Amino acid sequence: MRIMVVGGGGREHAIIKKLKESKKITEIYALPGNGGISADAICVNIGAKDIAGIVDFAKNNKIDYAVVAPDDPLVLGCVDALNEIGVPCFGPTKAAAIIEGSKVFSKNLMKKYGIPTAGYDVFSNAEDALKFLENAPIPTVIKADGLALGKGVVIAFTKKEAVDAVKSIMEDKKFGDSGNNIVIEEFLTGPEVSVLAFTDGKTVKPMISSMDHKRALDFDKGLNTGGMGTIAPNPYYTDDIASECMEKIFLPTIDAMNKEGRQFKGCLYFGLMLTPNGPKVIEYNCRFGDPETQVVLPLLESDLFEIMQSVTNGTLVDCEVKFSKKSACCVIMASKGYPEKYENGFEIVIPNEIADSVYVAGAKKNDGKLLSAGGRVLGVTAVAGALKDAIDASYAKVKAIKFDNAFYRNDIGQRALKATEDR
Ligand code: AMP
Ligand code: GLY
């Protein structure tokens, strides 16, 4: 079968490498892919937001199945457009992708169906929001309604920070129309867990849990980023908590989306916080997480393509989704200066013997050389029986990769390791 994967980051590289293990697949195209992905798929220079271009490509190249991985094309209705020309897809329709596309929608959904989340208020003008802040408890959390590259969330530890956040989102339009509405919510505490789950709108099969490291610097200091590394499984996510989440969060969410006439099919990402009052939803994403995918898929023992097809066909209940009992760690190598200003164009040298476990996020090919071309450049994953060994192996691989201007955190997995040892 001829498969097309929409997107061009480390997550898409991990999806493509896993799909390549499936015997049913003869050809994989990546739109647009990147210089590193070109070792594993045929990259086509069509942007992930160019829905008309994607549809044309699928039509002209007899694509049998499409995986739409990033949030933007999903929210723009890429799956609907491909379905219209008869291409089956992995990913939610536009109507269902709103669960990530609008925080106001997802908060209201949780409230209506009693799904545990932080208390909140919605504002459509700055004046009302600023008035509300006069008596709001601090810290408080301010979120732009729409997509904002993971940067639309401000945790305000002082009233001034809260006021500045409202002004920059609603008045200065820092995130454009994404900030026409905002959510101001209760500040929660507790360990965070990412759970990606396959669902066909009837059955939910969660993948192995993981832990992201969002801050740029060691010990969770510095700015928020797209994610500087991940480990799986997440030691805080015990079997008891998993059962509680299934009962109180996962199944009720699928049910709620069905009742709203927005059946969700694809990968639903639950960003959870394990608070002293039980697990609560911090955010939903309508897609695989990045870099969570880079630790979750290497632990998947079942055939990813068969699972994806069962999600599309509504037969997930009969499909095995099995994970290894091992642990995985992914360390992101970024460009120095990320997530702010950074320089690109440095040659990346990856030893052949570790290329299988490198997921390239931002690089281009030039005269046969791989050059850095992004804030996050690549992720390096290792799998081992014990978390500590996975962490050590992943850092050993990082040290074997050479590019000038490389930057990475040194403490990926350390908090998880401590939680394991404290048990
Ligand atoms: P998001 O971009 O929605 O994933 O949010 C970024 C980060 O902000 C999350 O990973 C949390 O660490 C934090 N965050 C979001 N909402 C809350 C909240 N209500 N209370 C405390 N922290 C939060
Ligand atoms: N790693 C967080 C995300 O994919 O949104």
Q: How far is the CA of 227 from the centre of ligand 2 (A)?
A: 7
Where are the alpha helices (H) located in 304-344, listed in sequence order?
304-313
CB 100 near ligand 2, within 6 Å: no
Sorted by where each starts, the structural domains of the chain and their CATH numbers stand as 2-91 (3.40.50.20), 119-186 (3.30.1490.20), 192-318 (3.30.470.20), 327-422 (3.90.600.10)
Q: Is the CB of 416 under 6 A from ligand 1?
A: no
pTM over 0.75: yes
Q: How many whole angstroms from 188 Cα to the centroid of ligand 1?
A: 8
To test the pocket of ligand 1, the residue of 153, 182, 224 to mutate (highest count of ligand atoms within 8 Å of its CB) is: 153
Find out whether the beta carbon of 212 lies less than 6 Å from any atom of ligand 2.
Answer: yes
Which residues in 313-350 are b (16+ Cβ under 10 Å) and which e?
eeebeebebebeebbbbbbbbbbeebbeebeeebebeb
Instruction: Please check whether residue 326 is in contact with residue 383, taking contact to mean a CB–CB distance below 8 angstroms.
Output: yes
The residue whose CA has the least distance to atom 4 of ligand 2 is 289
Ligand 1 center to 282 CA (angstroms)? 6
Cα–Cα distance, 197 to 208 (Å, whole number):
9
Q: What is the mean pLDDT of residues 225-244?
A: 96
Would you say the C-alpha torsion 259, 262, 266, 270 has a positive or negative sign? negative
- Residue closest by Cα to atom 5 of ligand 2: 289
Mean pLDDT, residues 210-215 taken together: 96
Of the ligands numbered here, which is closest to the C-alpha atom of 194? 2
Whether the per-residue pLDDT at 226 is higher than 90: the answer is no
Burial degree of 239 (CB within 10 A; 0-12, 13-18, 19+):
exposed
The tens digit of pLDDT for each residue in 324-342 reads 999 999 999 999 999 999 9
Q: Residue with the nearest Cα to atom 3 of ligand 2?
A: 289
**Quick one: 233 exposed, middle or buried, by C-beta within 10 A (0-12, 13-18, 19+)?**
buried
Residue 341: which residues within 8 A CB-CB, separation 6 or more? none
Share of the chain above pLDDT 90, in %: 93
How many angstroms is it from 127 CA to the middle of ligand 2? Answer: 31
Q: Looking at residue 384, what is its pLDDT?
A: 98
Q: Is the peptide bond before 88 cis (omega within 30 degrees of 0)?
A: no
